[in-house]
């Protein structure tokens, strides 16, 4: 088992990465400081892993809530169901919420934990690659709004993250690929050596080679933990984790939540960001082709949907947490392995990318 610490003074916490971790009772005992525990999951993950988790919790007063599966349920309405159950079962302020699932359950569970009685303990047991390498780490929690993705939320750190690589065995290939988009992101924004390792090892990752997957999860979590420790609430370097996300969120919102997986939309958005970075003279054609090629190798989409016009893209990108005074600000690439902080881009150059890339 590997242990990576997210250093945040008194709120520091470990990310455990390894095999068969959801069955290690001692990890739960170490981090649950209450009698009452609720496990939040969804109808796909619960039949696979909920019993294993509940078996480790026999000495607690445990309840569980199984939500429907899908990004379209990442809403305040479904978080309210968590509050309803906690209140009905008289959960007190020192209770613990365990989020067992992918990024959707992790984001909703974390947000419910942040809000219930102004904050109860929570643990993340991420079950998708995307959640293990990104969403479970760093304390961003929240839900979508019809007018914008992740627009309602809170920063709220977990007590620990238990990333059990074995649960990825049941993950669909399409979901594994979507997770790889966020793994590739770390290489692109700050870690050229990791990017080169990924270029050489994509086949092993797609074949679910355990050693390769564990290495990719570990390197991603090391990168993410360093960024979060430096800038927990995104006043600076944390924004670089949004490479491709402003385009990507526009694709997700504009196509209807659930049409594109988050990682798929991020892959397309990263290619658009790379095209824009080339127009600004920072990347060359070879760099852009290299970026497109690695996403293609992962069977990820690299072209935006035809039905999203430039005008619609701009409208959707105008609702973004990085924007300041109404100006769209983007994370771009100075080179492979180095991202910019959010920068305002000339509207004509942005439109040129939106008009021509993939059209
Ligand atoms: P997801 O949670 O919808 O999971 C993807 C699918 O895989 C679901 O159908 C789920 O039921 C299924 N699944 C999960 N684990 C499984 C397993 N082990 N075996 C079989 N099936 C399994 O999607 P995701 O890609 O994990 O997360 C995407 C969400 O994460 C988005 O809402 C995105 O906004 C959010 N996100 C948050 C952050 C953050 O920092 N908080 C970062 C990145 C993404
Ligand atoms: N996934 C973006 C962040 O955690 O900041």
- Ordered DSSP codes for 19-57: SSGGG-HHHHHHH--SSEEEEEEETTTIIIIIHHHHHTT
- CA distance linking residue 112 with residue 5, whole number of Å: 24
> For 187-240, how does the pLDDT look when each residue is reduced to its tens digit (9 = 90+)?
999 999 999 999 999 999 999 999 999 999 999 999 999 999 999 999 999 999
140 Cβ below 6 A of ligand 2: yes
Choose the residue to mutate in 107, 111, 126, 135 for probing ligand 2, maximizing ligand atoms within 8 Å of C-beta.
135
Quick one: pLDDT at residue 326? 81
Q: Looking at 185, 238, 278, 329, which residue is catalytic? A: 238
Enter the CATH code of domain 2-170.
3.40.50.1970
- CA distance linking residue 294 with residue 186, whole number of Å: 13
Tokens of 56: 């480790």
107 Cβ below 6 A of ligand 2: no
Work out the pLDDT band at 243, boundaries 50, 70, 90: very high
Is residue 140 annotated as part of the catalytic site, yes or no? yes
- Note the CATH architecture for domain 173-356: Up-down Bundle (1.20)
Quick one: pLDDT at residue 258? 82
Work out the pLDDT band at 147, boundaries 50, 70, 90: confident
- CA distance linking residue 224 with residue 322, whole number of Å: 19
Q: Looking at 74, 249, 278, 322, which residue is catalytic? A: 249
Choose the residue to mutate in 128, 139, 243 for probing ligand 1, maximizing ligand atoms within 8 Å of C-beta.
128
- CA distance linking residue 222 with residue 213, whole number of Å: 14
Beta bridge partners of 64: 39
- CA distance linking residue 223 with residue 308, whole number of Å: 33
- Ligand 1 pocket, residues with Cβ under 6 angstroms: 42, 44-45, 48, 69, 71, 74, 101-105, 107, 127-128, 130-131, 134-135, 138, 140, 150, 167, 170-171, 175, 178, 261-263
CB 149 within 8 A of CB 1: no
What stretches of 116-241 show up as alpha helix (H) in DSSP? 129-130, 173-190, 192-206, 210-230
248 Cβ below 6 A of ligand 2: no
Q: Where are the domains of the chain?
A: 2-170, 173-356
- How remote is the CA of residue 105 from the centroid of ligand 1, in Å? 7
DSSP readout, 77-144? HHHHHHHHHHHHTT--TT-EEEEEESHHHHHHHHHHHHHGGG--EEEEEE-SHHIIIIITSS-EEEEE
Tokens of 220: 């991603």
Choose the residue to mutate in 181, 242, 265 for probing ligand 2, maximizing ligand atoms within 8 Å of C-beta.
242
Q: Which ligand is nearest to the CA of 74?
A: 1
Give the nearest ligand 2 atom to 182 CA: 1
> For 297-356, how does the pLDDT look when each residue is reduced to its tens digit (9 = 90+)?
999 999 999 999 999 999 999 988 888 878 899 999 999 999 999 999 999 999 999 999
Tokens of 159: 């007590």
Is residue 238 annotated as part of the catalytic site, yes or no? yes
6 Cβ below 6 A of ligand 2: no
At a CB cut-off of 8 Å and minimum separation 6, what does 188 contact? 195, 243, 270, 291, 333, 336, 337, 339
């Amino acid at each position: 088992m590997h242990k990576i610490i997210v250093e945040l003074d008194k709120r520091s916490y470990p990310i455990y990465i390894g095999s068969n971790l959801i069955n290690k009772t001692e990890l739960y005992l170490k981090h649950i400081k209450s009698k009452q525990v609720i496990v939040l999951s969804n109808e796909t993950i619960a039949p696979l892993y909920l019993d294993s988790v509940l078996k480790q919790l026999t000495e607690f007063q445990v309840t569980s809530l199984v939500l429907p599966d899908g990004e379209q349920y990442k809403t305040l309405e479904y978080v309210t169901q968590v509050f309803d159950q906690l209140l009905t079962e008289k959960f007190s302020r020192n209770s613990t919420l365990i989020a067992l699932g992918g990024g959707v359950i992790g984001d909703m569970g974390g947000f419910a934990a942040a809000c219930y009685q102004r904050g109860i303990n929570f643990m993340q047991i991420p079950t998708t690659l995307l959640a293990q390498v990104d969403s479970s780490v760093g304390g961003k929690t929240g839900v979508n709004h019809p007018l914008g993705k992740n627009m309602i939320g809170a920063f709220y750190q977990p007590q620990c993250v238990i990333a059990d690589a074995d649960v990825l065995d049941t993950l669909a290939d399409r979901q594994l690929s979507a997770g790889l988009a966020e793994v590739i992101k770390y290489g692109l924004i700050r870690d050229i050596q990791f990017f080169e390792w990924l270029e050489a090892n994509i086949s092993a990752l797609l074949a679910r080679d355990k050693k390769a997957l564990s290495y990719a999860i570990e390197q991603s979590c090391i990168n993410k933990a360093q960024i979060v420790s430096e800038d927990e609430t995104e006043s600076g370097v944390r924004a670089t984790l949004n490479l491709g996300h402003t385009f990507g969120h526009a694709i997700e919102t504009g196509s209807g939540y659930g049409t594109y997986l988050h990682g798929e939309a991020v892959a397309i958005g990263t290619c658009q960001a790379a095209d824009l970075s080339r127009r600004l003279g920072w990347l060359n054609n070879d760099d852009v082709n290299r970026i497109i090629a690695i996403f293609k190798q992962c069977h990820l989409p690299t072209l935006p949907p035809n039905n999203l016009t430039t005008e619609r893209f701009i409208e959707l990108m105008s609702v973004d947490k990085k924007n300041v005074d109404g100006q769209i600000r983007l994370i771009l690439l100075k080179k492979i392995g180095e991202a910019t902080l959010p920068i305002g881009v000339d509207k004509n150059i942005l439109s040129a990318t939106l008009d021509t890339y993939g059209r």
